[in-house]
Structures are given as C-alpha cells and as structure tokens.
Structure 1
Amino acid sequence: MTRSAAHAQSTNSVLMIRPGRFYPNPETAADNAFQRNADRGSNALTIMARKEFDAAVQTLREAGINVHVFEDTAEPEKPDAVFPNNWISTHHDGRIALFPMYSVLRRRERRRDILEALRKHYQVTEVIDYSPFEDQGCCLEGTGSLVLDHVNRIAYVSLSNRSNPKVIQHFADDFSYEPVTFTSIDSNGQPIYHTNVMMCIGTAFAMLGLEMIPNKVERQRVRAGLEKTGKEIVELSADQIANFAGNAIELHNNFGEKLLVLSNRADHALT
C-alpha cells in the first residue's frame, strides 16, 4: 500500500448494522440533547428505521460505495445497534479498535462474529480492545468521540461523559494521532456528547460549529489546526448543528469520486 493510499482521508467501504430494534435509549437521554422522546411505539419506530436503513444502503451502493451489511441479533435487545462506529473503528494498517461505551445497553453491541467476518474480507493485523476502561468509568465512543484527520494524524475530540482524556491518550499513542481536545456546548449549556455531531473533516475541508466552543483559546487552537493543515473551514450555526449538518462523512466511490454523505435533514439545513 502506498503512503497516499494508506493515509487517504476517505474510504470506499462502510460497515452498517440493520437494526433489529430501534427506539430512544433511556440510558443515553440525560446527556444527549439531540435525542427526543418518541411519539410512536418501538415496533413502529423499528419498521421506519429499517426502511430508512435499506434506502440508505441502496443509495450508497448506487453511488459506488461498498457496503458491508450485518443484521442486528434479536437478543440481547440493542436499540442503538444501527450506530456501530461508536464501538468499532477500522484502520488502513489492518488494525481494529474496540471502544468503551457509556451506556451499559450499548456495550452489548460489540460482536466477535463481525470481527471474524471482516477477517474474511480484509487483512486484520491486530485488534486493540479499549473496552476494559469501562471498569474504570472511562469511555471513548469510537468515531463519535474521535473526528480523525487521517492525513495529518490529528484527532479532534470534544470532551464529555463519552470521551475521556485517559482513553483518548491511549488511542492517540497506539494509532499515532495528535489529540486536540476542547469542550463544545449545546443549546442547553451541556457538553455536546459526541464530537461528530458538531464536526466533520474531509480531504480539503472541515465543517464544524466553532461558535459552540465557548473557550476562546480552545476555539482558536481548533481553527489554527485546521488552517495549518490546509482545510477550508465551513462554519456551521447552532441551528444547522441541531439539524445534524455536522454529522456527515466523506467517502469516495469505486471511480475515485469524493462524496459527502449526510441526511436529508442536514442537506436541507445547509441549503
């Protein structure tokens, strides 16, 4: 693998979990201002989630993205299984990281059968398991917590209950990233639970809610890091963040074309 390929910002392959059950997780409601109480039952929500999931998979595949789909297991019940990026990350050198989760319900999502399936498609060189940090009450929820600039080896992290400095440093040391930590605040004055709801990094750009970082020194450090690495900064408003405009990902398809993947709601907030 060439250096340019090894350190590309985007990927052409994604792992997705088709939800077996989908409903608001009561264990994550306290610190997730983006989570809302449902106006319908869990069965109806699950049916809707599966339809949206299937449509998303079809859209990605039609755009030339390789999608590895795994069915959620019926037991134990896992209402957030559709978000696997919080417990697993895969890396260009064949290593896989497993992460410590804040919600006890979410710890059920880690699945060895998925690791074994990935070994059949890719050369997995090592699995680094950070989940024992849960016993110390320390969490780091994958690429929800970590917004990674793969090319420049920088890990941007908004500190919260889900993103502990001790685990951040272990990850940074193991995977050779420079951590840039800060605190971002939501409309209720609480720390934003995941960095990736307010920040997205692509090959040539960064979309983020700089105004949600109240500390001027931290805000300038984030801005300076992005400018130094040549990123075009697209500042997002708090309203755009609330509509998930920061929750996006750059991919590239099998033709080498770069794609920005985000929800319809986020797209409408940006236009």
Structure 2
Amino acid sequence: MFASALLLVRPRHFGYNPENADNTFAMPGDDAVLEQALAEFDAVVEGLKALGLAITVLRDSSRSPDAIFPNNWFSTHRDGRLVYYPMKAPSRRREVCRDFAEYLRQSDFVVRQTLDWSGLAEAGLFLEGTGSLVLDHGRRVAYAALSERTDASLVARWAEILGYTTFCFEPCLLPGADGRLYPVYHTNVLLAQGQNFMLWAPEGFARSEAAQELRQRLADSEQFSLELSLEQVRAFAGNVLQVETPRGPCLLMSQTAKEALLPSQIAQLERFTTLKAFAIPTIERVGGGSLRCMLAELFLPKIESLLA
C-alpha cells in the first residue's frame, strides 16, 4: 500500500515564507538560496529515478515560496479520487492547480472524482494534505496532530468520506520564528507510517495519555514502534516516506534525518526496509520542510493497468 509514483514541483521562487511563523523549523535565507535549492531538488529527482520510481516533475507557476512542498495542497487515492486541500497561508493557496485533474488524465492517470476543499480556507478552516494527515492505507487509519493547520472537524469529514478511522491528538508547543509558542505545525514531522512500523515522537504529544494510547495501538496491531526524541524531530527524522521500488520497500529521508538517527535505530529500520538519504540542507533550513514534504504520492490507477 505504498506509492511507486511520486510528483515533485520544481520551484521558481523558493525562499522563507513570513506567513508561516508557526513553522518552527524555517529560517530566512540569502540571495543564493534559490540556486542552492534547485541544485538540491534536481539531485533528489535524479536519485529517485535511479531507484526505479516513476517521477513526475511540475514547474511552479504560483510564485509561492513554498511550492516545493506539493503534498500540502492535494492527495490522490487508489479509488481514483483527487482531493484539494485548504491551506492556512494565503500565498500557498495559489499553488492549487485548477487544471491538475486534466493534467493527470492526460498523463494516463484515472481521476474518477475530485473533492475540492480548497475554498474552505476562506472560512478559516484548514487541512493541509498529507502534512496534516499521516495515513496508514493498509489499516485505513488517519493520524492527525490538531492545530490551526489541521482542523478537527475537517479531519472527521475527510475520514468519513474516504473511509478511514482517525487518531487525533494535541501536539506539544515549540517556539516559532516570531518567538511565540505554537503547536507542532504538521503531523508528518512527528509521525511516519511504514510497513509494519512507525516512527513517532512521544514527546511531541501534549498529553502523555495520548502517547501511551498510540504506543498500545501499535503493540496491538503488531507494528514495530521506533520512538524519536524532539531533538531528532527537529532534524526531520520523522519527516520520512516509505515507497515501493522495483527492488522492494525503501524509506526516503534527508541526510540530516539519517544523521540524527542512532546506529541502533537504523539497524532496526533496516529489518523492514532499505534506506535512501538525500542532502537537502538549504531546503530544510529555509523552507522548514524536509524530503517527505517534497513528495506527493500518486496512487491513482493508470489506464493501462485497467486494460491489462
């Protein structure tokens, strides 16, 4: 239940976004940032292709400094559904590509239904794609750290429509770029779902009871629990994505994330999957997101698979 096809957006205006003060991971950069980010981006694309993954690269037309993180504005599903999401930052709402469904169809993907929730942002309701939702597709569970960017009512509606159960929790507070305390901005920096394992940060939960409940759920479902510290979370060790390559499962992460993991943790993960790390320090430092945020999974069926 893991993707073998991914979409990335090559940025034109990458940089620090002052609208995202609640992203405690982002820092302002300098004039060389775009050139450095593009070099990192291109190396990621080539590395993903070398793994045998099907890679689609879009060129940004939104002028958004965060366009490199497309997983926040859409998700695709094996039943042919495409979902557009409402995002908190006004500059990011420009990223939603209104003719995206047609583009996917022209690329031989099957889009049976489009759910456009992007307009809910005007009502102050936000749900930022697979940044807000960490999905266990096999067990049909959606994990969500509730914050301004992840509205509880939208999580519930999404789960009802898509056929998932939910596990929602309140995340801990971290200092933002403006010095104020904010809930951890996205679920996918605290949790990552793998095949029969999860990376997660108990310290990232505001209530220890919720962390213990998740720990018990993982044990009951016979999943390996790899627990991260907040220091590892700050190094993006939770912002990783498992994919399915022709050679088997592979856990994609940044070099920063891999270096934050203990040798024993790497050995534990390698029982389940291979690991592939990419150096993206500029993207992480200025954009405040890591590799998982750059990768939008394409689960839609292809026309040729239906004709086979």
Q: Same fold (TM over 0.5)?
A: yes
Q: 1:68 & 1:259 partners in 2: Cα distance?
A: 18
1:117 equivalent in alignment to 2:108: no
Q: 2:8 & 2:109 partners in 1: Cα distance?
A: 16
Correspondence for 1:24 among 16, 19, 22: 16
What is the aligned partner in structure 1 of residue 75 from structure 2?
Answer: 89
Residues 181-200 of structure 1: pairs in structure 2 closer than 5 A: 181-188=168-175, 190-200=182-192
* Structure 2 unaligned residues grouped into runs of 5+: 176-180, 263-308
CA contact (8 A) 1:200 1:206 kept: yes
Q: 1:173 & 1:258 partners in 2: Cα distance?
A: 29
CA contact (8 A) 2:84 2:118 kept: yes
1:227 equivalent in alignment to 2:238: no
3-state DSSP of counterpart to 1:59: helix
Residues 42-121 of structure 1: pairs in structure 2 closer than 5 A: 44-73=32-61, 76-120=62-106, 121=108
What is the aligned partner in structure 2 of residue 169 from structure 1?
Answer: 156
Whichever residue aligns with residue 234 of structure 1, its letter is L
Residue 187 of structure 1 and its aligned partner are, at CA, apart by 4.0
Q: 2:110 & 2:37 partners in 1: Cα distance?
A: 32
Q: 1:23 & 1:128 partners in 2: Cα distance?
A: 30
Q: 2:190 & 2:28 partners in 1: Cα distance?
A: 21
* Runs of 4+ deviating beyond 6 Å: none
Percent identity, aligned pairs only?
38
| RMSD (CA atoms) | 1.2
Whichever residue aligns with residue 26 of structure 1, its letter is P
Q: 1:230 & 1:100 partners in 2: Cα distance?
A: 34
Correspondence for 1:268 among 259, 275, 297: 259
1:259 equivalent in alignment to 2:245: no
Q: 1:34 & 1:224 partners in 2: Cα distance?
A: 30
TM-score normalised to the size of structure 2? 0.81
Whichever residue aligns with residue 79 of structure 2, its letter is D
CA contact (8 A) 1:207 1:246 kept: yes
Correspondence for 1:206 among 185, 192, 198: 198
1:138 equivalent in alignment to 2:136: no
Tell me the number of residue pairs that the alignment of Structure 1 and Structure 2 aligns.
256
Q: 1:187 & 1:94 partners in 2: Cα distance?
A: 38
Residues 236-255 of structure 1: pairs in structure 2 closer than 5 A: 236-255=228-247
Cα deviation 1:84-142 (Å, max 9, x = unaligned): 10000000111011100000000000002332221122111101111122122010000
Q: 1:95 & 1:254 partners in 2: Cα distance?
A: 25
TM-score normalised to the size of structure 1? 0.91
Q: Name the structure, 1 or 2, with higher relative contact order (CA <8 Å, separation 6+).
A: 2
What is the aligned partner in structure 2 of residue 5 from structure 1?
Answer: none
Q: 1:216 & 1:197 partners in 2: Cα distance?
A: 18
CA contact (8 A) 2:172 2:203 kept: no
Query: Alpha carbons of 1:186 and 1:58: their partners in 2 closer, same or farther (altered >3 Å)?
Result: farther
Residue 212 of structure 1 and its aligned partner are, at CA, apart by 1.7
Residue 46 of structure 1 and its aligned partner are, at CA, apart by 1.0
3-state DSSP of counterpart to 1:134: helix
3-state DSSP of counterpart to 1:48: helix
What is the aligned partner in structure 2 of residue 179 from structure 1?
Answer: 166
Q: 1:200 & 1:248 partners in 2: Cα distance?
A: 6
* Structure 1 unaligned residues grouped into runs of 5+: 1-7
Whichever residue aligns with residue 172 of structure 1, its letter is A
CA contact (8 A) 1:133 1:167 kept: no
Q: 1:224 & 1:128 partners in 2: Cα distance?
A: 34
